[in-house]
């Protein structure tokens, strides 16, 4: 059996990408994970096939390396013989901090596509930045077609990948903290938890969708909601007193620096 995509690692991110890929008509997907039950459960849910790691490596057109950066060298040793048996393959790495040159040193001189996805890929609303080696260029468009249901793709220079991951990859966690804080505030003001969570989630979704469609700068958007002497500007003043923007900037910088450390 030959597969279009072979996922090695079915954790949160690997599972999200596999879920998106399974929406592509006719795609053949192999799933493997050290936790075999995890791979079998996900495969059953998506209509894919659960296989061992070496089978996924040897029989997949695009081999998606979904393990943590610190586990990548061990994985390379494990699947090197299987990769050598493959006639034509492209490695797809989502490991934070690991440059394409490092992937090739570990696995061999195969074409590499490096991606930095995020969890919303699972619902088709992901933000995925990518770059690739020169020899992977002929294979990129086919990969993007297979993953079209994951969300938006943007090609960037590899030197910006750590920063992109800090914003788009880590951002869902930051946004979730904001949603939780908004809902806590709503409960404090008398809303039920269910009401507060619904309002916060839909507000963030609608704001992001409107900003994407209109291309309005965030400052202009914010000003359009802030009436003179109104409730919104009162709330904004509290956020500014708490160094909200500076704190978010420091969080992104800390995540970016950690990405770089993971690649060392």
DSSP states of 61-85: EEEEE-S-GGGHHHHHHHHHHHHHH
Q: What is the band of 226 on the pLDDT scale with cuts at 50, 70, 90?
A: very high
Here the tokens at position 21 are 């890929």
- pLDDT more than 90, % of the chain: 91
The answer on 189 and 124 residing in a single domain is no
Q: Which helix (H) or strand (E) covers residue 106, if one does?
A: helix 100-107
The answer on 191 and 120 residing in a single domain is no
The answer on 11 and 115 residing in a single domain is yes
pLDDT at 239 over 90: yes
Find tokens 């995925």 and name the residue.
128
The answer on 213 and 148 residing in a single domain is no
The answer on 26 and 66 residing in a single domain is yes
Range of the domain at 16: 3-160
Number of domains into which the chain is organized: 2
pLDDT at 93 over 80: yes
Here the tokens at position 52 are 């061992």
pLDDT at 1 over 90: no
The answer on 197 and 151 residing in a single domain is no
pLDDT at 89: 92
The answer on 20 and 119 residing in a single domain is yes
User: Does any domain span residue 166?
Assistant: no
pLDDT at 85: 73
pTM for the model = 0.90
Strands 60-65, 49-50: pairing kind:
unpaired
Cβ 103 vs Cβ 115: under 8 Å: no
Mean pLDDT of the region 222-233: 95
Mean pLDDT of the region 153-167: 96
**Average model confidence (pLDDT) across the chain:** 94
List Cα–Cα distances, 231 to 64, 181, 223, 226, 237, in angstroms. 49, 18, 13, 8, 10
The answer on 181 and 144 residing in a single domain is no
Nearest to residue 1, comparing CAs of 60, 76, 53? 60
Dihedral, CA of residue 111, residue 119, residue 69 and residue 63, to nearest 10: -30
pLDDT at 87 over 90: no
Among 160, 179, 206, the domain boundary falls at 160
pLDDT at 186 over 80: yes
Q: What is the band of 157 on the pLDDT scale with cuts at 50, 70, 90?
A: very high
pLDDT at 84: 84
Q: What SS3 class is residue 204? A: helix
pLDDT at 14: 94
Cβ 64 vs Cβ 56: under 8 Å: no
Mean pLDDT of the region 50-57: 94
Q: What SS3 class is residue 59? A: coil
């Amino acid at each position: 059996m030959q597969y279009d995509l072979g996922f090695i690692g079915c954790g949160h991110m690997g599972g999200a990408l596999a879920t998106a890929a399974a929406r592509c008509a006719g795609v053949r997907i192999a799933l493997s994970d050290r936790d075999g039950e995890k791979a079998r459960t996900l495969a059953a849910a998506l209509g894919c096939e659960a296989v061992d790691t070496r089978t996924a490596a040897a029989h997949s057109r695009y081999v998606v390396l979904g393990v943590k950066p610190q586990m990548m060298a061990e994985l390379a040793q494990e699947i090197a013989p299987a990769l050598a048996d493959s006639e034509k393959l492209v490695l797809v790495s989502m490991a934070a901090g690991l440059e394409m040159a490092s992937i090739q040193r570990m696995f061999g001189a195969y074409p590499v596509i490096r991606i930095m996805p995020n969890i919303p890929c699972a619902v088709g609303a992901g933000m995925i930045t990518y770059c690739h080696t020169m020899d992977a260029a002929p294979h990129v468009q086919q990969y993007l077609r297979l993953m079209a249901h994951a969300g938006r793709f943007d090609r960037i220079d590899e030197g910006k990948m750590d920063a992109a991951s800090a914003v788009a990859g880590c951002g869902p966690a930051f946004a979730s903290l904001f949603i939780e804080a908004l809902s806590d505030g709503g409960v404090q003001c008398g809303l039920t938890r269910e009401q507060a969570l619904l309002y916060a989630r839909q507000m963030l979704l609608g704001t992001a969708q409107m900003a994407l469609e209109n291309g309005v700068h965030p400052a202009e958007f914010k000003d359009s909601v802030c009436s003179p002497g109104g409730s919104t500007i009162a709330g904004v003043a509290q956020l500014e007193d708490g160094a909200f923007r500076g704190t978010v900037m420091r969080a992104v910088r800390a995540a970016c620096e950690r990405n770089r450390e993971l690649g060392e």
